[in-house]
Amino acid sequence: MGILEKISEIEKEIARTQKNKATEYHLGLLKAKLAKYRAQLLEPSKSASSKGEGFDVMKSGDARVALIGFPSVGKSTFLSLMTSTASEAASYEFTTLTCIPGVIEYKGANIQLLDLPGIIEGAAQGKGRGRQVIAVARTADVVIMMLDATKGEVQRSLLEKELESVGIRLNKHKPNIYFKPKKGGGISFNSTVTLTQCSEKLVQLILHEYSILPEKSKDCSPDEFIDVIVGNRVYMPCLYVYNKIDQISMEEVDRLARKPNSVVISCGMKLNLDYLLEMLWEYLALTCIYTKKRGQRPDFTDAIILRKGASVEHVCHRIHRSLASQFKYALVWGTSTKYSPQRVGLTHTMEHEDVIQIVKK
C-alpha cells in the first residue's frame, strides 16, 4: 500500500470513529499515525514508491495552468471556487498532498487547473514534495503563483528563486540565439543587433566554461549542442495572485494591485475573480479559429481553440481525425495572411481570430 492510500485509510477511519471519551486514545493514535505519514510524504524520499505518486495527471483541455505557492495561501480554495472539482481546504499546512486537476470553462475553452501541494524554501532540492510539484509546473502553459497578501514580499522572491534554480524562467522571453556547430571547427560570431551586454570574447569564454571547444575531433550531435545552450530552460508566463485581500488595508491592496503581472483577489469573499480570469486568458494567449463552409458565413459561435503557433494541420486534427489526409488546400481570412482570403497549405501558421475554409481532395 502506498503512503497516500495509508493516509486516506486513516482519514476514513477518523471520520468513521465517533468522538467520545472511550475513543479518545484510539483517535489520538490515528492522528499521530496520520502526522507520521504526512511527514514521510514531505521528506525527500529514498524509496521509489512515493516518487511520483499522485502527480501523473493527464493533460487535457486546451491549456494547463499550475497553482504554485506556499502552504495555506488558498490554492485549494481557489480550485474549488473556479472549477466543479472540490479540493480539500483547511487551515493547517500541507492539506493538499497530490496534484488535483479541475477544469475552468472560459470563452469556450477548457482550461485545466492543477491544484498542488504547497512548496517551501528548498523545494528544488527535494524538500517537501517540491520536486514533484516543480516537475508538474514545468508542464504548464501558465503558472499562477499564489501568494498570501497578509504575508511579506519575501515569499514571492523565495518561490521565484526556487523555480529559477530548476531552469524555469518566469515572464522572460527565450533569448534569440542561434547556435550551430561548424564542420571545420573554430568560432564565427555574428549578431544582428548591437550587443551591449555580450562581446565575442565573453561568448568564447562562456563556451569554454561549458567545455564547448571548437575542436574538429569532438563529435557532437546538434541535439547535444542545443541542450547545452538551451539547457533545460522553460520560459513561462506567470501571474502573481495575491489572495486574502479581505485581511489587509485598502492602501495595501492598492499597492499590490499595481505590481507588474499581479492580480489581487479574495477567495473567501469572491473578490476580483472575474478580472483574474480575464488576465489568465490574456496570459494563456490562446488562438481562436473560426471555421467557414463554402458559400456560408463563418461560425462565430463555436471557435476552435489552439495554442499559439498552431498550424492548419492542427486545425484539421481538431475538426476530424482523418481531415488532414483528405486535405487539398485551405482558404484563410485574417491577420496570418497577406491577402484575404489566401490559399494556404497544412503548414501555414494560424493567428488569433482567423477564419478558415478547408477544401478536401
Ligand X SMILES: Nc1nc2c(ncn2[C@@H]2O[C@H](COP(=O)(O)OP(=O)(O)OP(=O)(O)O)[C@@H](O)[C@H]2O)c(=O)[nH]1
The footprint of ligand X (CB under 6 A) covers: 69, 71-77, 89-91, 93-96, 117-118, 243-244, 246-247, 266-268
- Our finding on whether 96 is near Mg ion (CB under 5 A) is yes
Residue among 158, 112, 160, 153 nearest 136 (CA): 112
Query: Could you check whether the bond before residue 222 is cis, i.e. omega within 30 degrees of 0?
Result: no
CB of residue 316 to Mg ion, shortest distance in Å: 40
CB of residue 141 to ligand X, shortest distance in Å: 21
What is the C-alpha to C-alpha distance for residues 76 and 117, in angstroms, rounded to an integer?
A: 9
Q: Is 221 exposed, middle or buried (0-12, 13-18, 19+ CB in 10 A)?
A: exposed
- Our finding on whether 72 is near Mg ion (CB under 5 A) is no
Nearer of residues 50 and 95 to K ion, judged by Cβ: 95
Q: Which stretch binds Mg ion (CB under 5 A): 76-84, 165-173, 278-286, 326-334?
A: 76-84
Nearer of residues 50 and 76 to ligand X, judged by Cβ: 76
Residue 72 makes CB contacts below 8 A (sequence gap 6+) with 91, 92, 93, 95, 118, 148
What is the C-alpha to C-alpha distance for residues 284 and 236, in angstroms, rounded to an integer?
A: 10
Nearest residue to K ion by CB is 95
What is the C-alpha to C-alpha distance for residues 359 and 53, in angstroms, rounded to an integer?
A: 47
Q: How many residues bind Mg ion (CB under 5 A)?
A: 4
- Our finding on whether 77 is near Mg ion (CB under 5 A) is no
CB of residue 133 to ligand X, shortest distance in Å: 10
Name the β-bridge partners of 331. 343, 357
Nearer of residues 112 and 266 to ligand X, judged by Cβ: 266
Nearer of residues 102 and 237 to K ion, judged by Cβ: 102
What is the C-alpha to C-alpha distance for residues 93 and 107, in angstroms, rounded to an integer?
A: 34
**Which of Mg ion, ligand X, K ion, none binds 246 (CB below 5-8 Å, type-dependent)?**
ligand X
Q: Which residues bind K ion (CB under 5 A)?
A: 72, 95
Q: State phi, psi for 189 to the nearest 5 degrees.
A: -130, 125
CB of residue 4 to ligand X, shortest distance in Å: 14
Determine the straight-line distance between the first and last CA of the chain, rounded to whole angstroms: 56
Nearer of residues 95 and 98 to K ion, judged by Cβ: 95
The DSSP 8-state label assigned to residue 286 in this structure reads: P
Nearer of residues 72 and 336 to K ion, judged by Cβ: 72
CB of residue 357 to ligand X, shortest distance in Å: 46
- For the chain, strand residue ranges (E) read 63-69, 100-106, 109-115, 142-148, 168-170, 234-236, 238-243, 262-264, 287-291, 304-306, 327-333, 342-344, 355-360
**Which of Mg ion, K ion, ligand X, none binds 132 (CB below 5-8 Å, type-dependent)?**
none
CB of residue 87 to K ion, shortest distance in Å: 10
CB of residue 124 to ligand X, shortest distance in Å: 17
The DSSP bridge pattern shows strands 342-344 and 304-306 to be unpaired
- Our finding on whether 95 is near Mg ion (CB under 5 A) is yes
CB of residue 330 to ligand X, shortest distance in Å: 45
Nearer of residues 68 and 355 to ligand X, judged by Cβ: 68
What is the C-alpha to C-alpha distance for residues 82 and 277, in angstroms, rounded to an integer?
A: 9
Contacts to Mg ion by CB under 5 A: 75-76, 95-96
